[in-house]
Each structure stands twice: as C-alpha cells, then as structure tokens.
A and B are shown apart, each in its own frame.
Chain A
Amino acid sequence: MQTLLDFYAKHSRLIDQIGVNAILALSLSVSLQAGQLALAQAAFMGIAAYVSAILALNYHWPLLATIVAAVLVSTVVAALLAYPVRRLRGVFLAIATIGFGEIVRVIANNLKITGGAEGMSGIPNDATTPVIYGSLAVVAIALWLLSRTKFALAVALVREDEYAARGVGIDVGAIRTLSLALGGAIAGLGGALYAHASFFITPNDFGFARMEQILVWCVVGGVTSPVGAVIGSTALSILPEAIRFLADYREVSNGIILLVVILFAPGGLASLWKWRRGAPRDPVRVHA
C-alpha cells in the first residue's frame, strides 16, 4: 500500500495528465467515429479552459460551476461551428477546423481578459486526481450508454456511406452537428480540467501542435472504439517518461509509433485485441 502511495506521490502529475489526455482523446474519437476529421478539439479545449479559468480567478466560482459553464460554452461553440462547415468533407473540413483553431488562438492571444500571450496563471489547482478520473468515468460511461442507442448506429452509417445513410432516412446534417457538439462538450470538460490541473495556461497550449498530439493518440490507440482513444493517449503519455534515456530524441518514438501503426495496424492498438468485429481497415474512413 505504501509503495502505491509513494508511486502516486512521485507521479501524480503524470497520472493527472493521463486522465485529462484520455478525456481529450475521447472527444476527438467521437468526431472520427462519425467519419469527420474535425480538428477543432484543441480549440474547444482552449475555449473551455479559458472560460473556466476566468470564472474561477475573476469571479471565484467553485470548480463544478466553472466546469459546467465551460462545457456549455464549448458545446454551443461546437454546435455553431457545425453549421458553416456542414458541406465540407475530408481534407477541406480538416483545414477549415484547423483555421478555426488558429482564429481562436489569436483571439486568446489578444484579449485582455485571457491575459494575452502570457496567458493566465494562479488558477486554483482543485482538479484533483479523483475529480479528473471521476470525470473520465462519467464520460466513459456516457459514451458506453450512447453506443447502445440508435444514435451510435446512425453515426456509424454516416461514417461508412453518407448517401446510403440518407437513403435509409438518416438526417446526416443533424448527426454531424450532434457528433461535433458532443466532441465539443467532452473537449470542453478536458479543457476545464486541464486549466484547473495546470499552474497556468497560454494560448499556445491549445494550438495546432496540441491538436496534432490528440490526433496521434486517437490514431495510435484506434478510432473504432473509445477504448482505443484511452489506450492511445495513455500509452503515448507514459512513453516519454519511460524512455527518458533517449533525451532529445524522445519524441521520435511518437512519430515512429504512429507510422508503424498506420502502416501495419491501421485499426490502432485497440484493434490488436479485436475489440470490435468488422473494424474498418483504416483508422479514418471519410468522404474525401
């Protein structure tokens, strides 16, 4: 028992990070499951982080309230974003959402209330490990319950073949909006927790580099099931610590793993356990 506590004390920061990263990865996997390469999760995360931080620092709201508010904001933003991009597919959707992310970053970089380029610091550090993992559990359970509904079937059908999905009566636009909004909500949760688990936040924490990182987690873990997102984010969060000896070359492992997965196990690590029968051969099957 003591060794466990010691382990925790030594690695608590990493353990918290793993939890938050898992939530962020889940948020992207929701979009990917609908076949949309919507790369705005980092932006939703950032919006929520700032909302949460501002409410906590400037208005002294309690943690739960800031989280709820932040998630609401990020969800609404995501739902609104779905409208202008409703006709975009494939690479074009990816680029549009990347552009959106950049706009959000610049806004955060320039507003006084967000602290500009210096960001915000001194955010109450009350996203403790139980809070983080409790939230992760909530998200996981919610997604699991959702997976048993018609909505999940509709999402899979939209991913596989949008035209045929329309032909069986599915409102593709509504499904895409809902999945984007759901992704926004989960990313918002991750963002709010991130803010309260970090000492400070800056606009660059939520830029394209972060987005790429989340994407890599999902792909490596496998997008055919939420389990994959969690596996990928966890494995790649632990890895840099485990291979410290590679020093400056550490990050090369992320790239190599990503390539290896894409080339040889495109369903991601989760597919190695054959979690889901009939998994698509490639991690992201979208309409180009």
Chain B
Amino acid sequence: MLALEHVSVRYGGVDALKDVTLTVVPSHVVGLIGPNGAGKTTLVNATTGLAPLATGQISLDGARINSLPPHLIARTGIARTYQNIRLFGALDVRANLAAGAYARKTRLTNDEIAALLERAGIPGIDLDARAGALPYGDQRRLEIARALAASPKVLMLDEPAAGMNPSETSRLVETIRAIAASGIAVLLIEHDMPLVRAACDSVVVLNFGEVIARGTPSEVARDPVVVEAYLGSGAEALA
C-alpha cells in the first residue's frame, strides 16, 4: 500500500502540492484527475523521489520512502510510466524490458518476456525492434511492460492514453484492470473521463495542488466543485 500523508511540494515559492493525503491499495485502481497544472505529475515525481517534500511523508507498506534517492525508491517496488514517453528509444524492445527488470534480476526468460508483453497488451511485438521506432500506441504499452518487468507493488501511469483513439483506449482499460487484478496498486493519471470511469475504483481530484474531491468516478463527475474546477461555474457535469 502506498500512502501519501499531508504531502506538500514547493517550487520556488509556488505550492505545487498542498497537504495532499492519498492512499493506493493493492488490486485497486485510483484515478488522479484535475485540470492541467493541478499537480498530478508533481505528485508522481514526489513519490518517485524526483521532487523534495516540503512537508508530510510518503510510505510504502508502512516504511517511509520519501527521503530515499530516486533509484532506491524504485527498488522498493514503485514503477511508473511517463507523461512524455521515456523509453530507451535507441535500444531494442528486449533491452527495454531488461532495463525494467534491472533491479530484480539479470536476465529475463523468454517466458517472462512473453508474459510481460501479454499483460501490457503487445504480445506479438518484435523483440529486436528499436523502441523509438515503434508505433506510438505500442510505445506507451512497452513503457507499461517495462514498468511491469520490475514486479512492482505500485504502478503509476501518467496519462497512458494520451494520443490513443477510443478503441485503443478501451483496450487499455482491460489492460489496467488486469494489472490491478494481479495484486498491484495502480495510480492512474488521466484526462480521458471515459477511461477513468471504466478503469478506476476510486478517483481523487486535484486542483491547484490541493485535493478537492474524492469518491467513485460517478460521484466525482457530478460533484459541482469538480465540475467548476474543470469547466467553470454553470456547467452541468463532466462527461
């Protein structure tokens, strides 16, 4: 279980995150939504050790992790994908998967590789293809496969559906739910409301670095505070 308690992050005088408390439990998908600049990626960065906390703490299964350097945090079992894809583009698919498993073991067996690709939804992909040359949707899924290669306890997906069309997006829902079902605690940052509704068990809404609402996707979508944050006052509900 990943727990953020009263977490604040300050960037040069600006509160990027203010007193955020949030937990993600195994086999659960928590959606993190909010307008652009609300602090969603900052939250992921803070959790992975890329942004220092001004206050609060972050713990994994009871053990405090926020003072660890990023690479050690990753080794505790937290994996992520990135808003702007950060694959090892010049290396092949195989190397990217081996990279994901770096902390765990030296070599992935063919079976393990096949399983990872299956879980990520790209079972037939060419292992020798250059990661950067893959189609966009495959790249996003390869990032997920790389993250899964670490056998993580927590998986944070930062806008994995960006740039995908509706049919790809609904395939992604299945992928995400299956990942959660395998016991991983999933945090999903997304703008795509249908995806959030379909994939998430609960949703946390950020605006200007603060949590403004929590609940199931439908509760949150009807919450006037949330609607106003996204669309300005007077709007009815989010999609």
Contact = CB atoms under 8 A, between A and B. Distances in A.
Direct contact of A and B (CB under 8 A): yes
Contacts of A160: 88-91
A126 B98 CA distance: 46
B83 to A, nearest CB: 12
Interface size, B (range): 20 to 34
A60 interface: no
B79 A167 contact: yes
A278 B90 contact: yes
Given A150-B106, A156-B95, A170 B88 contact: no
A156 B102 contact: no
Interface in A132-170: 150, 153-154, 156-157, 160-161, 163-170
Contacts of A280: 90
A174 to B, nearest CB: 9
Nearest to B131: A278
B6 to A, nearest CB: 25
B90 A277 contact: no
B86 interface: yes
Interface in B110-131: 128, 130
Interface residues of A, number: 23
A172 interface: yes
Contacts, number: 76
B128 A168 contact: no
B102 A154 contact: yes
A106 interface: no
Contacts of A164: 82, 86-88, 99
B39 to A, nearest CB: 19
A153 B95 contact: yes
Contact of A170 (B79, B102, B106, B128): B102
B92 interface: yes
A278 B100 contact: no
Nearest to B106: A150
Nearest to A282: B90
A77 interface: no
B89 A169 contact: no
Interface of B: 48-50, 69-72, 74-75, 79-80, 82, 86-92, 95, 98-100, 102-103, 106, 128, 130, 146, 150
Given A160-B91, A277-B92, 12 more contacts: A150-B102, A160-B89, A163-B86, A164-B88, A166-B50, A167-B74, A169-B72, A169-B74, A169-B75, A169-B150, A277-B130, A280-B90
27 contacts: A150-B102, A153-B98, A154-B102, A156-B95, A157-B91, A157-B102, A160-B90, A161-B88, A163-B86, A164-B86, A165-B99, A166-B49, A166-B50, A166-B74, A167-B82, A168-B103, A169-B71, A169-B102, A169-B103, A170-B71, A170-B103, A171-B71, A172-B71, A277-B92, A278-B90, A280-B90, A281-B90
Nearest 5 CB-CB pairings of A with B: A169-B103, A169-B74, A164-B86, A166-B70, A160-B88
